A and B are shown apart, each in its own frame.
Chain A
Amino acid sequence: MSHMETSALKRLQVQRFKPEENPEIHYLNSERGLWSWLSTVDHKRIGLMYLASIAIFFFIGGVLALVLRTELLSPAQSFLDADVYNQVFTLHGAIMIFFFLVPSVPAALGNFILPIQLGAKDVAFPRLNLASFYIYTIGTVFTLVAIITGAVDTGWTFYTPYSTETGTNVLLMTLGIFILGFSSILTGVNFIVTIHKMRAPGMTWSKLPLNVWSLYATSIIQVLATPVLAITLLLLVMERALGIGIFDPALGGDPVLFQHFFWFYSHPAVYIMIVPGFGVISEVISTFSRKHIFGYWAIALSSLAIAFIGFLVWGHHMFTAGQSSLASMVFSFLTFLVGIPTGIKIFNWLATMYKGSIDLKAPMLYAMVFLFLFTIGGFTGIMLGALSVDIHLHDTYFVVAHFHYVMMGGMVMALLAGLHYWWPKMFGKMYSEVYARISCALIFIGFNLAFLPQFVMGAQGMPRRYFNYIDQFQPFHQLSTMGAYIMGVGFVIMFFYLLHSLVRGEKAASNPWGSRALEWQTTSPAAPHNFEHTPVVIHGPYDYHKPMSEFQLGIAHGHHGESHQPETLETVAETGTRP
């Protein structure tokens, strides 16, 4: 903070507000009853409702995955026929991506934590926030109806011309996802405005938690990419309903145009899924290394760089779709570029841990798992981005394995890290650390057992989405299925210890991890309006060399004689960018 710019400085009377332990009134019990939840405009409750929804969808998607893996135990057909198999993998993909991954960190964790991290009372448009949750719900209802009335078998990508011809209920499914897109757009708009307008006094752009930066980058992608998906799906709906022929070669249209449109959204969409994960990991690694984050601006800006480059690489999904070789070369080159900001992040995280006092609690364990798995996923992504290699690996299990390493090994691990990290803040309860570690280990082992063999068999030529295969691949498939079961056990254990924590977990302290970040300077669970005072920020969220008292400041009460007796009273200079 520069003390030279006197014109931008504002003086504030501040005092220390030590967060109360075991608060009697918090956001979970300030209002009661089902209706108070359904009509709430509190971002924390909306976040929890999202969390519950995505947990349900993760469960459905996970069960479908286990069904698929069980079928693949033997080379020949065992208990699913080919059509059902197609429907199951489509549902697995569509549910996991559109209903679980896209809203996971931004809508669930982001809604909960973003305003607290900014020191705001709520998001900028609380009612819009509730509306976007209901839009999400309507979208899911459409999709569930589509599943019941005739499951879709196109794969989650809905490629034309098959998606316009198949007899299943593509119409409802795409409409559901179309509606879902609106929810995603509204959340993105809400977050961008919140970050711009609702920061606490002193929360300058250089003091934003990195989680906020990555949510900011994510919101930009959501706002810019989702409408293109909307128009694509609308065209697909029109194509099916009215036969407008834009994607139909018989009518002079072009099915590859669908792929262009689709990937123009869906490539940025995979960054919607992964970039918020980066934010969570930055928070967790800094907290549990008890050290200032290494390369703050490098991490913050590389999120934006990924968001930007992400819009220019969609062609790498179409190397084999008859795109010109010049275009393919350009897309391939741009794809390599994504590796640079991602690498910057990984090295910065490693540098943060270097010489830190690392505490291997469950969130940190998940962050480590993230680093390990995501690096593998990232490197194989670069391999797939290389033209000649991709021609060989296109549509094989190699791609499946890569995608799962990035999405599950990356995003889901980041989600779990974040969930375990902010769990005390959400519910005011601790979970069993021992079981958390056991389940983390099981998930790690199971995950690698499930997906490492898929790299090998993909490279040997096992195509994706086939429900039968030649005997040669059986050992790999069996290993993979074993891994999937082990992961399943891990998640079941997690479900139970989290449930146990909710019911009779130990009470959590307001700041169980000793973090300096603003969200830990309020009560656990958080107060109904996040803070009882207006927080004032004078240090960055990772300044572990500064005493804790300097992170618990708020605007002093105007007159004396209130119940709060100020412990310290001081005046700091502020860069007054906010009214």
Chain B
Amino acid sequence: MGMWIFLVTEILFFGGLFAAYIVYRAWYPDLYVQASTQLDTFWGAVNTAVLIGSSLTVAMAIRSAQLNQIKGLIINLYITIGLAFTFMVIKYFEYVHKFEKGIFPGQYYTYEGIAHEKANIFFSIYYMMTGLHGLHVIIGIGLMIWLLVKAKKGAFSAEYYTPVEITGLYWHLVDVIWIFLFPLLYLID
């Protein structure tokens, strides 16, 4: 129950950013349409698939724990961590690609390709939202490595798997937030 309440706070945490997104989108609708073309929908879609896949494996990890299949739990955790890393790597290349073009957040923004004077605002929000989300992914990776270590020591069984379960909940939330971010940022047009 504590975890569920914590997830509510996470939603509100991101909620602030979504509110900022809505405000500025209402002010500069054409900017959002133009700027989102700069984002790579293909890799965004790949990342979505990766994260949804990892949600599946985390669910399978919980199931394995429930059935006392510790080996299955460990394998599923490995796959989940691998997928999370894949996500971060793709994200990294997306960021680097934008930095090369001069798309930096806020006042360092130098890219000339978008005919809109407020273009930096979109990217400020983009970086804040995806950056914060990326931070959550990294935290998730850390949590799952911790689970992995404990699972190998044989700490979990069908009687006790609460940490796996609540980390799974957390991971689903991270996933759901991305599912909102992806269309809002990449698929505007």
Contacts and interface: CB of A to CB of B under 8 A. Distances in A.
Interface of A: 124-125, 128, 185, 188-190, 192-193, 196-197, 223-228, 230-232, 234-235, 238-239, 242-246, 248, 251-254, 257, 260-261, 264
Nearest to B1: A193
10 cross-chain pairs, A with B, having the tightest CB-CB distances, nearest first: A252-B118, A231-B16, A243-B107, A244-B106, A227-B13, A244-B124, A245-B106, A227-B12, A243-B106, A252-B121
Task: Please classify the interface of chain A as helix (H, G, I), strand (E, B), loop, or mixed, using the class held by over half of its residues.
Answer: helix
Contacts of B17: 231
A398 to B, nearest CB: 31
16 contacts: A190-B2, A227-B10, A227-B15, A228-B12, A228-B13, A230-B13, A231-B14, A232-B16, A243-B107, A245-B107, A245-B120, A248-B107, A251-B106, A252-B120, A252-B121, A253-B121
Contacts of A227: 9-10, 12-13, 15-16
Q: Which of B9, B23, B127 has the most CB of A within 10 A?
A: B9
A252 B117 contact: yes
Contacts of A196: 1
Contacts of B180: none
Interface of B: 1-2, 5-6, 8-10, 12-17, 19-20, 23-24, 28, 105-108, 117-118, 120-121, 124-125, 127-128, 132
Nearest to B31: A252
A239 B124 CA distance: 10
- Most chain A CB atoms below 10 A, which of B17, B107, B118: B107
A124 B2 contact: yes
A193 B5 CA distance: 9
- Interface of chain B, helix or strand or loop or mixed? helix
B13 A246 contact: no
A224 B12 contact: yes
B13 A231 contact: yes
Most B CB within 10 A of own CB, among A225, A231, A243: A231
Contacts of B20: 235, 246, 257, 261
A170 B19 CA distance: 24
Contacts of B124: 244-246, 251, 253
Nearest to A194: B2
A166 to B, nearest CB: 17
Nearest to B104: A242
Contacts of B121: 245-246, 251-253
A238 B124 CA distance: 10
A232 B121 CA distance: 16
A253 B28 CA distance: 11
A260 B24 CA distance: 14
Contacts of B132: 234
B10 A192 contact: no
B16 A243 contact: no
A230 B13 CA distance: 7
Contacts of B1: 192-193, 196-197
Given A196-B1, A245-B120, A245-B121, 16 more contacts: A124-B2, A189-B6, A190-B2, A235-B16, A238-B105, A238-B128, A243-B105, A243-B106, A243-B108, A245-B106, A245-B107, A246-B121, A248-B106, A251-B118, A252-B117, A253-B124
Contacts of A254: 23
A254 B124 CA distance: 13
A224 B7 CA distance: 10
A243 B105 CA distance: 7
Contacts of B6: 185, 189
Nearest to A254: B23
A125 B6 CA distance: 13
Contact of A223 (B8, B105, B125, B128): B8
B156 to A, nearest CB: 19
Nearest to A245: B106
Given A243-B107, A243-B108, A245-B120, A228 B2 contact: no
A260 B6 CA distance: 23
A245 B10 CA distance: 24
